[in-house]
Amino acid sequence: MTEDYKRYWLKEAIIYSLDIRSYKDRNNDGLGDLKGLLSKLDYLVDLGINCLWLVPFYCSNDHDGGYDVIDYYEVDPKLGDLEEFKLLVQKAKSQNIKIVIDLVVNHTSKEHPWFLEAKNTQSPYRNYYIWMKEKPANDRDDVVFKTVEDSNWEYCEEAKSYYYHTFYKHQPDLNVANPAVQEEILNIINFWMKTGVAGFRIDAVPHILKNKGEERFQGDPYDVIDIWKEAILAHDKEAILIGEADVEPEDYPKFFNKGKKINGLFNFFLNNYLFLAMAEHCAKPLKKAFERLPFPGYHGQYLNFIRNHDELDLERLTVEERARVFEVFAPCPFMRIYDRGIRRRFPPMVNNNLARVKLAMSFLLSLPGSPVIRYGEEIGMGDDLRLPERESVRTTMQWDTSINGGFSAVDPNDLRWDVINDEVYGYQSINVANQQENTTSVLQQVKKMISTRKEQLALNYGIFKILETNHPQVMVYLYSLANEHVLVAHNLSYGEEHVQVSESFNTNKFHVLLGDAEIDLTASQQLILIMPAYSYCWLSFTT
């Protein structure tokens, strides 16, 4: 991996993802709102966040965390209004925080006015969606929620036809191959760019670009992204498109195209093999993943994450590898989802072993790419498996020990979002206020990692290299930017390990940035690390 050193804000981004509904209720109606998020901007600044990704806040039926959109041009009135959103963008910008929002155009809600009109065969909106008179024989080719939906096609009595849906049946897919739909998407992009947002996270990119039913794109489907890119750059030359594309790594380059298309891609492949490495207490799966992972170059960036707002999708693993991760992190069937994923947050997967939680966050904040922190991850929040499907990981932010964890002042019976209230992961034990006062807490360690990452530009712009060691359970890698170097080591083992790094270093002055490993050098200038169980170590040195 080589590139010219040039400042580029996405490479230095610390991205924080949240749902307004579950973050902070300010108007005391039991649901998070824009005013609540505004009241917590100082917290995000203190944490070190400089990019905020908001999941959909448009008008919806709330059947899928806001991804069932009814109106692309309105803020859900339960959350606030457009003027409050513009104020949020303005206030965030004054605090050097850029806001990225979701572009949800693979599908709409079946209650969207376009779909209601499309049921009429004579309507100009008919071809905004994908219809067939007869259900095709291969009606399960693209079913994503295999344990919930049994077909990609759902019959509509009013339309006397079947409509196509990639996800839930209440989310009919838009016919993005239709130039009229492409024009609608440009209108949506232009509308929100005028509010001052820094760009979009495109939901379900590969599904958007598929030919579905009898509908076909004119030319290369990926050219659509070029058009979207031109549209955002017309408003802001630094605006970005980041994309959700859970595909094989060999397909990653087609999404970048030297910066003409997507600027950042969520790295599902690396995420899957990070979990395999943590499950097997071995660095080998992660090292092997890098052998297949193409580096995007200056105009593209990988986005790394531990968990996102959906299930932990392990689709990139083989069946055998996935089974091993299930055995360790989701041993009971009710902990799994859609035959391929896990519906837990990370701390419960490791029985609240805080050393392992901090180790995972160290990986997140030091692997090549920009880190994406899901709200609550910085304090080690848990989940509620009593809730259905993906709702188990969509509980409210836990601020303090007051009623409802400081999320809302309403009577608990009047809450409109779920709060974790148990002995281990409840807000009484895990919350921001408690961890602000504890220097060894997950929150304080994450703040140190973020601060260190910002100070060490080699982590953003340096040449990345995996270093060999004499121990398979330790992962060591190096970033080099001119004569500045940062070495990062992770011990995936449950025991103390004595590790010798094969590389010879032209220095004997290592500065410990983070971690508590003991350091020594051999006569041939090879580094020796004595690392406690599940520990990490960040070192800097110059040559």
DSSP string of 494-530? SS-EEEEEEEE-S-S--EEEEE--EEEE-TT-EEEEE
CA dihedral 64, 65, 66, 68 (to 10 degrees): -10
The structure tokens listed for 365 are 């904040």
Report which DSSP code applies to 246.
Answer: -
Rounded CA-CA distance 248/330 in Å is: 24
SS (H, E, C) 168-191: CCCCCEECCCCHHHHHHHHHHHHH
Rounded CA-CA distance 197/101 in Å is: 7
> Phi and psi for 515 in degrees, rounded to 5?
95, 175
Show Cβ contacts of residue 112 under 8 Å, excluding neighbours closer than 6 positions. Answer: 69, 70, 71
CB 256 within 8 A of CB 299: yes
pLDDT one digit per residue (tens) for the chain, 543 residues: 444 568 899 999 999 999 999 999 999 999 999 999 999 999 999 999 999 999 999 999 999 999 999 999 999 999 999 999 999 999 999 999 999 999 999 999 999 999 999 999 999 999 999 999 999 998 998 899 989 999 999 999 999 999 999 999 999 999 999 999 999 999 999 999 999 999 999 999 999 999 999 999 999 999 999 999 999 999 999 999 999 999 999 999 989 976 679 999 999 999 999 999 999 999 999 999 999 999 876 568 999 999 988 899 999 999 999 999 999 999 999 999 999 999 999 999 999 999 999 999 999 999 999 999 999 999 999 999 999 999 999 999 999 999 999 999 999 999 999 999 999 999 999 999 999 999 999 999 999 999 999 999 999 999 999 999 999 999 999 999 999 999 999 999 999 999 999 999 988 899 999 998 999 999 899 999 999 999 999 999 999
pLDDT at 1: 43
Q: Is the pTM of this model over 0.75?
A: yes
Three-class SS state of 326: helix
> Phi and psi for 188 in degrees, rounded to 5?
-65, -45
Rounded CA-CA distance 35/80 in Å is: 7
What is the distance, to the nearest Å, from the Cα of residue 147 to the centroid of all Cα atoms in its chain? 23
Rounded CA-CA distance 71/60 in Å is: 7
Q: Which position among 25, 68, 244, 384 bears the catalytic label? A: 244
pLDDT at 6: 80
In this structure, how many other beta carbons lie within 10 angstroms of the beta carbon of residue 6?
A: 8
The structure tokens listed for 8 are 């580029």
pLDDT at 260: 76
Q: Where are the alpha helices (DSSP H) in 11-81?
A: 20-23, 34-39, 41-47
First to last CA, the chain: 20
Strand 484-491 relative to strand 474-481, pairing: antiparallel
pLDDT at 7: 87
Rounded CA-CA distance 400/199 in Å is: 33
Q: Is 244 a catalytic residue?
A: yes
Q: Which position among 173, 203, 311, 497 bears the catalytic label? A: 203
Q: Is 220 a catalytic residue?
A: no
pLDDT at 2: 43
CB 140 within 8 A of CB 152: yes
Q: How much is the CA Rg of the chain, to the nearest whole Å?
A: 23
Rounded CA-CA distance 108/125 in Å is: 13
Q: Name which of 390, 396, 366 is nearest 270 in CA terms.
A: 366
Which residues is 284 bridged to in the sheet? none
What's the longest Cα–Cα distance across the chain?
Answer: 82
Rounded CA-CA distance 38/28 in Å is: 15
pLDDT at 27: 96
Three-class SS state of 285: helix
Rounded CA-CA distance 241/102 in Å is: 10
The structure tokens listed for 85 are 């959103």
